[in-house]
Every structure is written in C-alpha cells, then in structure tokens.
Amino acid sequence: MKIIWLGHASFRIEVENAVLLVDPWLEGNPSFPTEKRAEAIAGATHILLTHGHGDHTSEVDAIAKDTGAPVVGIPELCAIFSAHETVEFNKGGTVDLNGAKVSMVQATHSSSLGSAYAGTEAGYMIKGDGHMTYVSGDTDIMADMDWMGDFYNPDIGILCAGGHYTMGMEGAAYAAKRYFNFKTVIPCHYGTFPLLAQSAQPLVDALPEVDVRTPQVMEAVNL
C-alpha cells in the first residue's frame, strides 16, 4: 500500500483497488503545493471524511465533481454532500471500498460545517494489503482507544498530533504506547498554522521502537 501526505490532515491512501482521499483539503491548505492538485486526486475512488470542519471538507464538492468519487462517512455529513454519490455508514459499521475494508470508530472532537450539523466526529480502521491502518481523525486521547487497539490491532497509525485542536505530540506518543502496538506511525495535523506544533521530533523521540515517518507533502510512504 501507499500512503501520501497531502499536508495538514489530508492523505491519499492507495490500498487494494481503492484510492482513498482522506479529508482532502488542498486549495487554501498552506502546506499543499497547488500545482500538484491534479496529481493528488488522480484516480481517486472514494473521498473519506472524518468530520465536518472546513480544514477537512471545504473542497469536497469540487473534488467529488472533478473525480466522480463518492463521499464516504457518517450519514449526517454525507447528507450535506447529497448532490454527489455517497456511501453512508456509522460507528461499528464496515464498508468494502474496492477491496479495502473500512470500519468507522470513535473519536472525540466536534463536527460542524458552517452552521450545519455534520454528525459526530469519527476515525477509521482500514484493512487491506496485509495491513490494518488506524486513521485517528481529529481527536484527543480517549479510553476507547483501549478496545480499538485490542480489537483491530492496527500496525499503522496515522495520528493527529499538532495540539491546540487535537492531541499534541506528547499525547499521540502516550496513546501509541498505552493503547496500540504500531509498527509505523505517521503524524499529521501539525505545521500548518502557528498555533500547531511545528515539528514532529518530540513524537519521534518518544517512540524509539516505532518507525515514525515524517514524509514531505506528496512524498509516498510505501508499506
């Protein structure tokens, strides 16, 4: 499988026969080179959303129109994008996206799109190509990570770690050590704005036995 960071909390994940765009925020994302937009969305099969905030969803309409990829997520959020094809499900559910088995799990944050209610925040477990990948979405540390780590046993963690709006580097490291047995961790939701952590080095230092990857934007991590 191939994981490509698009800056902030946006990812392109190529797994099984799926190309998943997770929370794709490209235009207006200070971390994303706008000239790479066509490359970032090429061949997308699904748009996977964790919650409704603008730094995760503001470009969904445009990307769905350009790619024809259905919007996947919690029903209330999908309803906002009902002009496009959608795949609705909820926490505890699993959908098959071109061979990738995607399960929705809990997160603790907030979720709205402007003044519109956008359901509740979520994370995902993505099974495919011999891996289980946990996409935390925007979250703090939570006790639910205990059963999630035990039940799904993900070996890859894509963890928000910027602080202020989500858990920070120290919190992400604590969660990784206490609740999970990751072989690989990729931090996100950092470096975008001055309010957020600017370096992932504290996470790297706190997880010496884990392969913590800090790729450049548009640099592929092959696993």
- Weakly modelled stretches of the chain, pLDDT under 50: none
Q: What is the pLDDT of residue 125?
A: 98
Q: What is the pLDDT of residue 181?
A: 98
Q: How far apart are CA 24 and CA 15, in angstroms?
A: 17
36-83 confidence digits (pLDDT tens):
999 999 999 999 999 999 899 999 999 999 999 999 999 999 999 999
Query: Which residue segments constitute the domains of the chain, with CATH numbers given?
Result: 2-214 (3.60.15.10)
Q: Report the first-to-last Cα separation within the chain, whole angstroms.
A: 5
Q: What is the dihedral of CA 219, 221, 194, 172, to 10 degrees?
A: 180
Q: What is the pLDDT of residue 116?
A: 87
Sorted by sequence, the CB contacts under 8 Å of residue 145 that are 6+ apart come out as 175, 178, 179, 180
Q: What is the pLDDT of residue 72?
A: 98
Quote the DSSP letter at residue 14. E
Cα 55 off chain centre by: 12
Q: What is the pLDDT of residue 161?
A: 98
